[in-house]
Chain A
Amino acid sequence: MNKPPHHYHLCPLCGFEFERTETHCADGCPMGKFCNLIRCPNCQYEFPAEPRLLGWVRRLFCREPSKATQREMVGLHELEVGEQGELVCLSCEQHARRNALAVYGLVPGIRLVLQQKRPTFVLRVGETELALESDIAREIFVKRIPHEHAAATAGGVTPA
């Protein structure tokens, strides 16, 4: 189901955990692609990555910080089909793309249901069904909503 948790970073500022692959240093950094700061998609705070060796050591001797399913926030692509989530943040670099999602009501705090992943992501926000490419889905971070809560709040029907 979910990939084993590796390369996860913990933001020192807000405690948000995220995958390395989806984060880059902000545009316009004078160091360009040599910059090895990573940016938290939640609070936009930039911090240096944990050295790889240290990561290995930590993983060897410490327990995994948390399982993927328990982590606070996941990318939309990590939700199961039929699962509900509450949108936490959009990490899109381009303003236009972020706003393109916002006009469908996709702003922090909104509840959504992931309806399918293949061949293209489809999610439902309110009564709008929205199809998105996986690239965009990866930039949407949500908090899982456990099923018992889900039924009470947004309720309703999702494809089996």
Chain B
Amino acid sequence: MKGSQDTATLNGERAAATAQQAGIVLVGNPNVGKSVLFSKLTGKFVIISNYPGTTVEIARGETRLNGEAVAVIDTPGVNELASRTGDAQVTCDVLRDRPAATIVQVADAKNLRRALLLTLQLAELGRPQMLVLNMMDELDRCGGRIDIRKLSELLGIPVVPTVATAGTGIHLLQKNVAAARKASDFVAHAVVPSGDPGADYDRNVERLKRVNEIMGQCYTLDRPRHPTFAQKLGWWATDPLRGTLLLALALYFMFWFVGLVGAGTFVNFFEEVVFHRHISPWAIRAVDAVLPFPHQHAMEPSEYKLEIPFTPTRGIELMTSTRETLAPKYSLSAGATLSWWQQALRFIHDFLVGEYGAITMAFSYGFAIVLPIVATFFLVFSLLEDSGYLPRLAVMVNRLFRGMGLNGKAVLPMVLGLGCDTMATMTTRILETRKERVITTLLLALAVPCSAQLGVLMAMMARISYPAAAFWVLLMVGVAFAVGWLAARVHPGARSDFIMELPPMRLPQFGNIAIKTLARLEWYLTEVIPLFVLGTAILFFLDRLDLLAKMARVCEPLVKGWLGLPPETANAFLIGFLRRDYGAVYLLNAATGANPTLSAHQVLVAMVTITLFMPCIATMFMISRELGKRTALWITLFIFPFAFFVGGVVHRLQHVLGF
């Protein structure tokens, strides 16, 4: 007895030494709280969501153990180590590359059986390990009890209960890392080793037998008689009838919050009050003071209306105000001739605050229009993500997606694509087969407009009739399905089985939501603002070199002949190559600006064409990073001609449609 204790402490000390050298690796089933635990340990933020498969890249950080810094690595969730697909591969590689690291397995205490299956597989590696039983609060709530001491004894490794979200047990965990050691033989040798991959299943069955023996000795369950409200909500969400109602409710809420409050109330405020009345005039004055040349800026009326919207046309008006503000437009003082020096000043002046100015155009678009819309969208998305609703949405749409060679899981990137297509393209990694990734990426690039673009498109929709708006929506959905269906037939390969774990519905946590929204926003802005500045700069130089008019002439057959739009709109499509929503802003100006040049029918054609454009250059780079250059090229070569093709067809159908 004494001897074994001695070796245990010896092992413990050795483990402590290695832990401090090689660090610790967090391993566990998907969605058990590894990422929460990681941020509690390291103080670093990683994306945490109530959706299996969200840690697509491994995160590294440092924690303090006994006053010393120790590296911590978060890995994607795995259900077992044997399968060699995607996430499991990443986790296996991490473990292989760090042979001296301590394995800290994080488990969902409610799902002890699945966790122990993994424990057994890890034990077979013969490395120092320990077990963290997370979500003890939820275990309590569902009436489970685990005899931790007994479990630790059976496994031969430290077992620590935690509630990661509340921070309970983190200290105990840090204290016990030093005691991590090899698991008992009872656990490590539950199956005879074999190199036959076909035997994975049989070996897991053997392991689960051992797991059941262990659980019989330390786990009891006494479930409460009545389901909780969260449980019921979860069941409703996947019910054909109630689930559809819930989906409609969720969609309306999303539309209201993002489309009306975000794109309406907030954008109005930022655009009119913050930019037009304060930042722009201030920037113009500042630039004029630094770069003086004789000119006079025009005054423009700025109208602002604050209202709480209910539907696109109805709402409660709280206040209105009108005021004259300084505009970018200016005229040279009468009789003044500019020296070359003043010419140069004027050039820079125009670049900053002119009609195509970085501040007056790029920043005002990026911060006043895109930021409020995208921020509200990411907020809603984080809420949905944390509540556990998204996997249930996947259950609802699985049938529908099957026709497109996808399975329900593809709904997550699709919904995220409504926020930012680049980010969504990256998230297609949660899909298992290449075929699914390619089709989802194609559909994202083709037919899922990001929220910034949707905001602009919705503003354009004000110019067209209700039937035309409905036609636009149906056409986009139809195109998505038709292209998806075709792609599923053309692209070789199979889709994966739809086997998906439904995490419990949870009340989203405020702090987590806030951090996640901010992190996504930051990511988005660093991707987007440089593109706006670049796009504006290109426009500015083209305008200066008088190339805009020439380009318009070159594109005339396409834009005027095929689409039936005024030649100037070529600029919009040109800039649409950079970012389609920015192109849409141009069309918006042409559609609803001071003197609109587009008819209602032309607005529809323009909307259809620009919606089907490639989202932005950044998305293209992301596609080529995720799927390779060839696929990215193919997707691009398909999308642009296709967008013009559909736009032209809609134009030809004018007489048939009547709008």
Binding site for B on A (CB under 8 A): 95-105, 107-110, 115-116, 118-120, 122, 126-133, 135-136, 155-157, 159
Q: Supply 5 further A-B pairs (C-beta < 8 A) apart from A132-B500, A133-B497, A156-B224.
A: A95-B198, A103-B114, A128-B114, A131-B498, A155-B223
Complex Cα–Cα for A122 and B142 (A):
19
A102-B201, A103-B117, A105-B113 are known contacts. Are A157 and B223 too (CB-CB below 8 A)?
yes
Is B302 in contact with chain A by the CB < 8 A criterion? no
CB distance B502 to A131 under 8 Å?
yes
Q: Which of these, A97, A101, A110, A157, contacts B231 with CB under 8 Å? A: A157
Could you say which residues of chain B place their CB within 8 Å of the CB of A155? Answer: 221-223
CB distance B395 to A159 under 8 Å?
no
Task: Count A-B contacts at CB 8 Å.
Answer: 122
Q: Which of these, B79, B83, B223, B391, contacts A156 with CB under 8 Å? A: B223
CB distance B111 to A130 under 8 Å?
no
CB distance B497 to A136 under 8 Å?
yes
Complex Cα–Cα for A122 and B500 (A):
9
Pull 7 A–B residue pairs with CB atoms less than 8 Å apart, ordered by A. A95-B198, A95-B200, A102-B204, A109-B212, A118-B240, A127-B111, A156-B225
How many residues on the B side are at the interface (Cβ–Cβ under 8 A)? 50
Rounded to whole Å, the gap between the CB of B33 and the closest CB of chain A is: 14
Restricting to B180-212, which residues have a CB under 8 Å from any CB of A? 198, 200-201, 204-205, 208, 212
A119-B395, A119-B398, A156-B223 are known contacts. Are A131 and B238 too (CB-CB below 8 A)?
yes
A116-B235, A156-B223 are known contacts. Are A102 and B240 too (CB-CB below 8 A)?
no
CB distance A131 to B395 under 8 Å?
yes
CB distance B201 to A95 under 8 Å?
yes
CB distance A119 to B240 under 8 Å?
yes
Could you say which residues of chain B place their CB within 8 Å of the CB of A100? Answer: 83, 497, 499
CB distance A128 to B501 under 8 Å?
yes
Could you say which residues of chain A place their CB within 8 Å of the CB of B108? Answer: 127
Could you say which residues of chain B place their CB within 8 Å of the CB of A129? Answer: 234, 501-502, 504
Q: Which of these, A118, A120, A157, contacts B224 with CB under 8 Å? A: A157
Is B226 in contact with chain A by the CB < 8 A criterion? yes
Could you say which residues of chain A place their CB within 8 Å of the CB of B142? Answer: 127
Complex Cα–Cα for A156 and B110 (A):
14
A128-B111, A157-B225 are known contacts. Are A119 and B396 too (CB-CB below 8 A)?
yes
Q: Which of these, A118, A127, A132, contacts B498 with CB under 8 Å? A: A132
- Return the 4 tightest CB-CB contacts between A and B, nearest first: A156-B223, A103-B79, A127-B110, A159-B235
Could you say which residues of chain B place their CB within 8 Å of the CB of A96? Answer: 83
Could you say which residues of chain A place their CB within 8 Å of the CB of B144? Answer: 127
Rounded to whole Å, the gap between the CB of B402 and the closest CB of chain A is: 8
Rounded to whole Å, the gap between the CB of B124 and the closest CB of chain A is: 15
Q: Which of these, B201, B224, B226, contacts A99 with CB under 8 Å? A: B201
